[in-house]
Chain A
Amino acid sequence: MMMSSLVDPLVLAVLVVNFMLLGTSRIGAAIGGSALQGVMLGLLTVAVHGTLDARPVVVAVLAILLKAGLIPAMLRRALRDAAIRREVEPLISYMSSLVLGALATAAALGFASSLPLAKEHAGSLLVAGSIATVLTGFIILTTRRKAITQVVGYLVLENGIFVMGLTLHQAMPMLVELGVLLDLLVAIFVIGIVIHHISREFSSLDVTELDKLRD
């Protein structure tokens, strides 16, 4: 039972990282933040299962390898190759991002408490934390100008969904968990290639340049 008492602190840590991501002005720090979240999700996987069986450990190790190792490395490489200014350049101020994030977290807590939770999750932050992280990802995705920061937003969104998936650990076959992780990896890989081409074509990673197609 030791391990399951770690669930809430870990979810809280994920939420703290959400705010760090909303407030940071450096792209490198944003990538680092998403990697940190990846480590926490790996630990959370084991904590939720409550045992050191093969399955949670395999999923946790793979999640950490992908979310904290491979994907951040790909993003850092894209950032280096693009040789752009390392600032996030949000479309709204950092203060408004943070306020939006706080509102989203409050809404997530309200939403989770208004829905009937399973008895093993009553009083747990898992569901609320998941929804808050999804919303944070959404905010980052829609209010940042650089392609790489949008990808960080997408990763945070995926992290939130991963937390929701943890509540279903008895129901979810490992094959599906691995499939989801694999799809995420391929998605980021494909996005990485697209980013590479964007930086070559436009000499910048500013997605507001991508506005030529319209009616």
Chain B
Amino acid sequence: MLAIALFALPLLLAALAAVVRDDVRPRLVPLAGVAHLALTGTALYVGDVAAFDGWLELDALGQLVLLVISVLFFACSIYVPSYLRLRRDRPNRLFCVALLVSLGMMTLMAESQHLGLMWVALEASTLACAPLLYFNRHARSLEATWKYIVIGAVGIALALLGSFFLAYSALSAGKDTSLLFGDLVHQAPQLAKPWVHAAFVLLFVGYGTKIGLAPMHSWKPDAYGEAPAVVGALLAGGVTACAFLALVRFVDIAGAAGDGKFAHDLMIRIGLVSMAIGGVFMARQRDVKRMLAYSSVEHMGILVLGVGIGGLALYGAMLHLVANALTKGVMFLSAGNLQRAYGSKSTEILRGAIRRTPVSASLLLAGFFAVTASPPFAMFLSEFTIVRGTIASGHYAIAAIFLFLAFVVFVGMGATTITIVQGKPPDDLPPLKYRDTFATVFPPMLLLVALVALGLYVPAPLDRMLHAAADLLGAR
């Protein structure tokens, strides 16, 4: 029951949002956020959540991704009504409906144990995000939406082909084909290796496109740059977490099939490339949201690198998944506030924000320290663990490159962020129409508090969940 309620509730509220009055509608989003968080809490507490003959089942990885989605969506959902109040010029029906549908589909994705169902859910959440990107209805957002849809659809089509290849590997080995992850892992040693190999390449390219790993990231800066801040936060923290979940499930199968070394080496390489591309393009970025998009490319690189290294780094990667969602929430929401205050997201104009919107500017600055893994924020702990795992497994050169790239990112992003916060504001700024209010600064502040708390102390239940998720991946 619970497994169905988790994804059905947002969908029901989406249907309701389609028919209610314009001024009531934005309030349904926080309602969904609270209800979803409560259901997620119950599901994690109960532990054993399953439905439809094992098609839906929350294992440790699914629980973790579900928690990430639910917390991030909750913070974003309480931001939405104030955002929509500032954008009364735009109709909000499609926006609210699409937001709720994507929550439902991300939840379904986190729960699904069936290769086909998971694909359908991820594709549906991709499509549901398209109207969110096009919320501003201008030429630039149109271009971003087109690239997002076409590149995303092709990526996800390749992932489907890869899934079919994987299923065929059982058929060609003369086995019964099952598309349930548990069965596939169980059968993996008998699967036909060449097909598993080909399948993994397609799945890596396909889901890697969705995660936004370099060099498949070209849609990301455009999409995150033009999307409303709250959508950027959900894409960077939630949708990427879902696609990451899909990818690691296949890494698990490849590992069980004896193709683990290839998969892990590929992840380490692509992880480093993503960190490098993210770092280089962040350095001289003149658009604050595009900068955040490249930061997302970098952090997705760190995530897959952590999984590629394995061992201790797996725990780090799991914690990083949580920390990434929280920091992206802080940064996108505070950057969105600044964009409102200046009527621009260009760093030529966005300067001296500490005087214009002191709270949002401080949040952005704190978010910068959080995203570059400074203590006491959670990312310090997660990246530190990944580096320790890298050194412990004897990959000294990779650890050195990792630290160097993290330094490059710190310097590049730092220069931009400090100008935004402390620089000299341009003289001809339009009069201030936006002011920081409780509703617009509370959500990022909440996430920031969570980041500090996690950096200082990982609560025992979460720690158990992170260990269980890491063990699930590290078993092979």
Asked if A87 is an interface residue, CB under 8 A from chain B, the answer is no
Collect the chain A residues with CB atoms within 8 Å of residue B174's CB: 118-119
Interface residues of A in 174-215 (CB under 8 A from B): 175-176, 179-180, 182-183, 186-187, 190-191, 194, 197-198, 201-202, 207, 210-213, 215
Collect the chain A residues with CB atoms within 8 Å of residue B198's CB: 115
Check B290–A215 contact: CB distance below 8 A.
Answer: yes
Check B167–A172 contact: CB distance below 8 A.
Answer: yes
B158-192 interface code vs A (CB 8 A; 1 in, 0 out): 00110011011011111011110000000000001
Check A191–B149 contact: CB distance below 8 A.
Answer: yes
Asked if B226 is an interface residue, CB under 8 A from chain A, the answer is yes
Check B167–A194 contact: CB distance below 8 A.
Answer: no
Give the residue of A118, A134, A183, A186 whose beta carbon is less than 8 angstroms from that of B168. Answer: A118
Asked if B374 is an interface residue, CB under 8 A from chain A, the answer is no
Q: Which listed segment binds A: B117-125, B238-246, B395-403? A: B117-125
A129-162 interface code vs B (CB 8 A; 1 in, 0 out): 0000010001001000001001000100110110
A212 to B222, CA, bound (A): 10
* Contacts known (A154-B153, A179-B117, A213-B140); A171 close to B171, Cβ less than 8 A: yes
Check A186–B127 contact: CB distance below 8 A.
Answer: yes
Check B123–A213 contact: CB distance below 8 A.
Answer: no
How many chain B residues touch the partner (CB < 8 A)? 51
A65 to B234, CA, bound (A): 35
Collect the chain B residues with CB atoms within 8 Å of residue A167's CB: 164, 168, 171
Collect the chain B residues with CB atoms within 8 Å of residue A182's CB: 120
Give the residue of B144, B149, B173, B285 whose beta carbon is less than 8 angstroms from that of A213. Answer: B144
* Contacts known (A134-B161, A161-B164, A186-B124); A194 close to B192, Cβ less than 8 A: no
Check A210–B147 contact: CB distance below 8 A.
Answer: yes
Collect the chain B residues with CB atoms within 8 Å of residue A168's CB: 164, 167-168, 171, 177
Check A147–B222 contact: CB distance below 8 A.
Answer: no
Interface majority SS (helix, strand, loop, mixed), chain B: helix
Check A202–B139 contact: CB distance below 8 A.
Answer: yes
Interface majority SS (helix, strand, loop, mixed), chain A: helix
Asked if A117 is an interface residue, CB under 8 A from chain B, the answer is yes
A49 to B55, CA, bound (A): 25
B127-151 interface code vs A (CB 8 A; 1 in, 0 out): 1001100100101101111110110
Check B164–A115 contact: CB distance below 8 A.
Answer: no
* Contacts known (A164-B168, A168-B171, A210-B146); A215 close to B221, Cβ less than 8 A: yes
Check B168–A190 contact: CB distance below 8 A.
Answer: no
Check A171–B134 contact: CB distance below 8 A.
Answer: no
Collect the chain B residues with CB atoms within 8 Å of residue A183's CB: 120, 123-124, 127
Collect the chain B residues with CB atoms within 8 Å of residue A210's CB: 142-143, 146-147
Asked if B157 is an interface residue, CB under 8 A from chain A, the answer is yes
Collect the chain A residues with CB atoms within 8 Å of residue B281's CB: 215
Collect the chain B residues with CB atoms within 8 Å of residue A213's CB: 140, 143-144, 147, 221-222, 225-226
Closest chain B residue to A157 by CB distance?
Answer: B157
Check A197–B134 contact: CB distance below 8 A.
Answer: yes
Interface residues of B in 259-313 (CB under 8 A from A): 281, 285, 290
Asked if A123 is an interface residue, CB under 8 A from chain B, the answer is no
How many chain A residues touch the partner (CB < 8 A)? 46
Check A172–B140 contact: CB distance below 8 A.
Answer: no
Collect the chain A residues with CB atoms within 8 Å of residue B137's CB: 197
Asked if B376 is an interface residue, CB under 8 A from chain A, the answer is no
Closest chain B residue to A202 by CB distance?
Answer: B139
**Could you tell me the distance in whole angstroms from the C-beta of B61 to the nearest C-beta in chain A?**
21
Asked if B195 is an interface residue, CB under 8 A from chain A, the answer is yes
A173 to B116, CA, bound (A): 9
**Could you tell me the distance in whole angstroms from the C-beta of A175 to the nearest C-beta in chain B?**
8
Closest chain B residue to A141 by CB distance?
Answer: B154
Collect the chain A residues with CB atoms within 8 Å of residue B222's CB: 213
* Contacts known (A183-B127, A191-B149, A213-B143); A172 close to B179, Cβ less than 8 A: yes
A173 to B194, CA, bound (A): 25
Check B120–A179 contact: CB distance below 8 A.
Answer: yes
Check B157–A161 contact: CB distance below 8 A.
Answer: yes
Give the residue of B116, B124, B149, B226 whose beta carbon is less than 8 angstroms from that of A194. Answer: B149
Closest chain B residue to A215 by CB distance?
Answer: B281
Collect the chain B residues with CB atoms within 8 Å of residue A150's CB: 150
Closest chain B residue to A211 by CB distance?
Answer: B143
Check B177–A171 contact: CB distance below 8 A.
Answer: yes
* Contacts known (A116-B192, A194-B145, A215-B281); A176 close to B172, Cβ less than 8 A: no
Q: Measuring CB to CB, which residues of chain B are less than 8 angstroms from any residue of chain A?
A: 114, 116-117, 119-120, 123-124, 127, 130-131, 134, 137, 139-140, 142-147, 149-150, 153-154, 157, 160-161, 164-165, 167-168, 170-174, 176-179, 192, 194-195, 198, 221-222, 225-226, 281, 285, 290
Known: A134-B161, A213-B221. 17 other contacts (CB 8 A): A116-B194, A118-B174, A150-B150, A157-B157, A158-B157, A165-B164, A168-B168, A171-B178, A175-B116, A176-B116, A179-B117, A183-B124, A197-B137, A210-B147, A212-B143, A213-B140, A213-B143
Q: List 28 A-B contacts (CB under 8 A).
A: A115-B198, A118-B168, A118-B172, A154-B157, A158-B157, A161-B157, A161-B161, A164-B168, A167-B164, A171-B170, A171-B177, A171-B178, A172-B167, A172-B179, A173-B179, A179-B120, A180-B119, A183-B124, A187-B149, A187-B153, A194-B134, A194-B149, A201-B139, A210-B146, A210-B147, A213-B140, A213-B147, A215-B221
Q: Measuring CB to CB, which residues of chain A are less than 8 angstroms from any residue of chain B?
A: 114-119, 127, 134, 138, 141, 147, 150, 154, 157-158, 160-161, 164-165, 167-168, 170-173, 175-176, 179-180, 182-183, 186-187, 190-191, 194, 197-198, 201-202, 207, 210-213, 215
Which are the 8 A-B pairs with shortest beta-carbon distances? Answer: A171-B177, A176-B116, A179-B120, A210-B143, A213-B222, A118-B172, A164-B164, A183-B123
